[in-house]
Amino acid sequence: MKKKYFILLIAFCHSTYVAWSQELNALKVNVSISQELKHSFLKGGRLLFHLTKQNEKEPRNKSEITVGVTPENWDPAKSFVINTKNKNVLTNGLDKLTGHLGEKYYYQVVYKQNRTDGNENVAGNLFSEVDSFFLSKEAKVSLTLKSLIPPTAIVSHSFVKSVEINSKYLSDFFASPRFLKAAVLLPSGYFENPGRNYPICYRAPGLNGRWGAINGLMARKEFTDWWFTKEAPQVIYVFLDSQGPYGDTYQVDSDNNGPCGKALTEELIPAIEKLVQYNPASKQRYLAGASTGGWVALGLQLFYPDFFDGTWSYSPDPVDFEHYGLIDIYHDSTIFYNKYGYLQPGRRTIYGEPTFSMKDWINGENVNSRTNDYRVSGGQFGAYNAVFGPKGADGLPSLMFDPVTGKIDHSIARQWEKYDLKKVLEKNWSTLGPKLKGKIWIWTGDMDGLYSNVATRFLQKFLEKTENPKSDAKISFTPMAGHTQEWSDKAVLTMIAEKSAGNKK
């Protein structure tokens, strides 16, 4: 008797699950634009609906479920309906709603329309207020875009300077005005010693980081209490900005983002150094960064070995594309499955537990992109693809791999080689080696959450075998440490001051 009851109960639950799944497939979200923002609306943007159970952050900053669509010919005087039955509507995580009837969810919508910045929560994009509802079959969702994200304001402080210039190189490339920005933190003795030449460090941000990172550092009392003492390193600390139309520019020249490296070294840095009266002849121009910033700090040192005088790279993004995470872009057939037929993981915990597959990762970027693929997602792989790959026939970046199957286009992958830092060193060691003496310092956690430590290990193997000259790069790994776990502004600035002092002896 008990056995029969149990079977009937399972059958009933299954039918309810199926019915609710079918209801989800017809989810509709009604979006309108407030009268005040209609003049700010630009056609062709990406409409993103975010849904989450947590209420610590706005859904646009963290959500488990996202629905994305690029409205065609949206008249801002009328509302637009996001209908998940429409084949042009992409979803990520929508299946997580099944079985959660009666639970409370928070939701919000963003209209991503800024074509000069590939990210979502950036100046010029529109967003709604946060609302909530209890999940039910009859749930009706309506939202109004009421707010425009303003530009970042840099903290007002006598020791903080802002630099913003119109880049001729980038403006010519895009045939429209393009600007470069940076924020500068001066050392504690700067105003007491007029005319003194200080070492200068350019801090490359993590993925999609902005010059506004200085605001967070200045808000940390522990840091400022230390920085404004006479014992603190006397170093000028510059916060770079990585804004680009496809996400992070990685601060290097590329077919899609334009001559970013040239603009940095020939336009922005000279403007900064003129402002702070830095003397380039002193050879105290350094780089530092973590994650994407770690790759940028190392990459710029390799691409401009005479211009920069040392780099501190923490948990750099893959520096060897044969170990692009766990993928070999030159030989693997797909980024979604490994050679054993298992889903390729994209992230893990420090204990080795996979938390996110590459397939899920790319699906999320497809949802965020107005092209329904990761090319203009503003995310990690949209950025990689734009920085490292060629421009396509439609004027957008060429796809290195298929957004649905993950199949690698090896003709495109081979064109990434000029940004494969290990290959750059292998091909040019006889000329680069002497110029890099005493200039490379790398740290990586051996349980890096993005598997980037694998590529760094292979870079280390190459450098250990170099001759004429023998590399003196300092590369260290911490067991059981995760991505950027040991990054510290204080530690980096202290090491830079020590190096600078040693160079003067």
Q: What pLDDT digit, counting tens, does each position of 362-375 carry?
A: 999 999 999 999 99
- Look at residue 178 and tell me whether its pLDDT is greater than 90: yes
In angstroms, the CA 492 to CA 498 distance is 10
Give the residue-averaged pLDDT of 311-321: 98
Place of tokens 């790069």: 473
The predicted pLDDT at position 3 comes to 38
- Look at residue 111 and tell me whether its pLDDT is greater than 90: yes
**Predicted confidence band of residue 30 (pLDDT cuts 50, 70, 90):** very high
160-320+420-504: same fold as 2-148? no
In angstroms, the CA 375 to CA 400 distance is 10
In angstroms, the CA 170 to CA 172 distance is 5
The predicted pLDDT at position 139 comes to 67
The predicted pLDDT at position 132 comes to 93
The predicted pLDDT at position 234 comes to 98
Q: Does domain 2-148 bear CATH number 2.60.40?
A: yes
- Look at residue 305 and tell me whether its pLDDT is greater than 50: yes
The predicted pLDDT at position 95 comes to 81
Task: Indicate the burial class of 179 (C-beta count within 10 angstroms; 0-12, 13-18, 19 or more).
Answer: middle
In angstroms, the CA 453 to CA 459 distance is 10
Percent of the chain with pLDDT over 70: 94
Percent of the chain with pLDDT over 90: 88
The predicted pLDDT at position 7 comes to 31
- Look at residue 258 and tell me whether its pLDDT is greater than 60: yes
Give the residue-averaged pLDDT of 176-187: 98
60 closest CA partner among 147, 143, 120? 120
Give the residue-averaged pLDDT of 109-128: 97
Mean pLDDT of the chain: 93
In angstroms, the CA 294 to CA 175 distance is 31
Residue-wise pLDDT for 197-212, tens only, equals 999 999 999 999 999 9
Q: Pull the structure tokens for residue 326.
A: 């766990």
455 closest CA partner among 331, 323, 349, 281? 323
In angstroms, the CA 471 to CA 463 distance is 6
Neighbours of 449 (CB within 10 A): 19
Coil, strand or helix at 249? coil
Give the residue-averaged pLDDT of 174-190: 98
Question: Of the given ranges (40-44, 96-100, 283-287, 371-375), which has the lowest mean pLDDT?
Answer: 96-100
**Predicted confidence band of residue 136 (pLDDT cuts 50, 70, 90):** confident
Question: Of the given ranges (99-103, 260-264, 278-282), which has the lowest mean pLDDT?
Answer: 99-103
Give the residue-averaged pLDDT of 115-135: 95
- Look at residue 133 and tell me whether its pLDDT is greater than 90: no
160-320+420-504 to CATH, choices 3.40.50.360, 3.40.50.1980, 3.40.50.1820, 3.40.190.10? 3.40.50.1820
**Predicted confidence band of residue 396 (pLDDT cuts 50, 70, 90):** very high
**Predicted confidence band of residue 138 (pLDDT cuts 50, 70, 90):** low
How far apart, in Å, are the Cα atoms of 192 and each of 186, 228, 478? 12, 12, 40
117 closest CA partner among 295, 382, 344, 399? 382
Give the residue-averaged pLDDT of 351-360: 97
How far apart, in Å, are the Cα atoms of 134 and each of 13, 98, 101? 20, 13, 8
Residue-wise pLDDT for 36-74, tens only, equals 999 999 999 999 999 999 999 999 999 999 999 999 999
How far apart, in Å, are the Cα atoms of 461 and each of 455, 465, 466, 474? 10, 7, 9, 12
- Look at residue 21 and tell me whether its pLDDT is greater than 70: no
The predicted pLDDT at position 6 comes to 32
Q: pTM for the full model?
A: 0.94
- Look at residue 428 and tell me whether its pLDDT is greater than 90: yes
Residue extents of the structural domains in the chain: 2-148, 160-320+420-504, 326-417
Residue-wise pLDDT for 472-498, tens only, equals 999 999 999 999 999 999 999 999 999
Give the residue-averaged pLDDT of 401-408: 98
Residue-wise pLDDT for 234-255, tens only, equals 999 999 999 999 999 999 999 9
